[in-house]
Each structure stands twice: as C-alpha cells, then as structure tokens.
Structure 1
Amino acid sequence: MTDASAPQWDLPDPFTLEITVRDDDTDRLGHANNVVYVRWLEDVSWAHIESLGMTWELHEATGKAMAITRTEIDYLASANAGDRLILGTWLTGYDGRFRSSRQFQLVRPADGKTLVRAVSTHACVDMKSQRPSRAPREFAEILAAAAVDGGAGVAVK
C-alpha cells in the first residue's frame, strides 16, 4: 500500500484485517449485507484478541469469556463485490473488573472512504453458567495493557 492510499484511521495503530467482498457477501441491493458486517467485526475481534494472547485455549482454561453485550454500527457507505477493504479495531476501554469496549473502522483504500464505524461492549461471563463474572487475572492483564485508554488507571489484582 502506498502512502497515498494509506487509510486515515480514527485512532493510532489499529489491528487490521484485509477483506475482499465476495459475491455471496452481498444482498438484494448488491452491496455487502448487514449480517456480513457483523461477521467481519467478530472475525477481526477474535484475530486481535488472540494476537494479544487471549486465545481460545486460555478461555477454556479459565472458564471465562468476554460476551458481546452491545454493538452499534454506523453504515456510512456501501461495499460491493470485489471491493478490497481494511477493517481496523482497537480495544478502547477496560474497567478492571467485568467490562471492555472495542472500536472499529472499515476503510476502502481505493478511494479512502470510511464505510463503517462501530463500537461494541463486552462483559466477562462464566462459560458454564453464562452469568457475569469478574475477569480472570490473565484477561485483566491483557485487556488493561491493550486498551487505548491504557486501562484507565486500572489496577490488576
């Protein structure tokens, strides 16, 4: 990617995933379906968190997981079959106990347009009971270190 086509990110140093829109990603209107955008958000979230060491094996070992409690998506422009996109994400907050937040930006480098901005919030849950649970130390250390807000002064106990 040349500097001229480098995305203008909302926040510095995103974790990114390259996407090419497939024909079967599109809906009757001919652009990427809303359900597909949600799948892409999930794909980049897992890739990002696993790159930080919060692997599925760690989830299983601790019996805890971060479950999405809310996702807000602003669709700003459409993506079409064949478009090459870059989806960026950042961990934007961690409260030191249960909740974390994540921000997303989907960019089409060909014209520099931001197609989507989204935010999701997560709560730690016990994988067996599906009830809220304090994040284990392993999660807390990863989330606090990676959060753009620096963990907002979170003390990991």
Structure 2
Amino acid sequence: MGFEATAAEIDELGHVNNAAWVRWIQDVATAHWAATADPAHVEAFVWVVVRHEIDYLRGLGPGGRVTARTWVGDAPTGARFDRFVEFVGDGGKPHVRARTTWAMLDRHTGRPLRIPAEVAAPFL
C-alpha cells in the first residue's frame, strides 16, 4: 500500500505529522484485515488499537512517497494481536516502523473476545 505526503499532512517542521503516520498505520492494518480475513469474520468482529509503539527514523516531506508493508508476528494472546508496519521510501530506506497492539471486539456487543484460531490463521 502506498502513500504520498500531501500539504495537509505536513507540520511546521516541513515533514509528515505524527498524527498522519498513525492514521496511515491504521489504514494499512484495516486494509490488511479486510483483504485477508474471511468475510464472515469481518462482519462479526471489529478491531481497536490498545497500544502504538512507533519509531520515527527519517522525515518525509511534501510529495514524498512511502510504501507500507505489514505483518503479524506471533499468535494472538487472548483478545490481543501485535501487528508490525514499516514504511519504506525511495531507495529502500525505512521512514517509520511501528508495532501496534489491537484487540478484537464482537461487532454487535462491543465486548473483547478471545481470538479464535480460525480468525488468526490467515495472518500467521
């Protein structure tokens, strides 16, 4: 998934604002879920972020482009799943690396649920 820095995402230091990176992380994670998960699981469950851990390695200026890749490391623990996201720019240099922890909720009740093996399997 690719991203290009727009004028609205640039802060007073001339690079992409931290809030934009967080939004991009969420966009990548939710797109991966929608593309990979069983449609019945997408209908039944929703994910919420419970933790972001982000390393900002280099700035990205106006018009700069990055490509994101994401993966899930280990099997889930209870309702939680750690996801990794890396944004790489021209020349293959990383701009941002993140580890985010997501919790799975029942879409209808809003309650956390232990992640079943069949939900996790496509991501491991």
**Would the TM-score normalized by the shorter structure come out above 0.5?**
yes
Q: Percent identity?
A: 33
Q: Within 5 Å, which residues of 2 pair with 1:1-157?
A: 17-55=1-39, 58-60=41-43, 62=44, 64-95=45-76, 97-109=78-90, 111-135=91-115, 137=116, 140-147=117-124
1:96 offset after TM fit, Å? 6.2
What letter is aligned with 1:106? F
- Runs of 5+ unmatched residues, structure 1: 1-16, 148-157
* Runs of 4+, deviation exceeding 6 Å: none
Distance 1:54 1:26 in 2: 36
- How big is the alpha-carbon RMSD for the aligned residues of Structure 1 and Structure 2? 2.0
Distance 1:67 1:28, change over 3 A: same
Distance 1:37 1:54 in 2: 27
1:20 offset after TM fit, Å? 1.1
Distance 1:125 1:58 in 2: 11
Q: Is the 8 A contact 1:52 1:142 kept in 2?
A: no
1:99 offset after TM fit, Å? 1.7
Give the TM-score normalised by the residue count of structure 2.
0.86
1:145 offset after TM fit, Å? 3.3
Give the TM-score normalised by the residue count of structure 1.
0.70
- Runs of 5+ unmatched residues, structure 2: none
Distance 1:38 1:95 in 2: 22
Q: How many residues align?
A: 124
Distance 2:77 2:96 in 1: 29
1:144 offset after TM fit, Å? 2.4
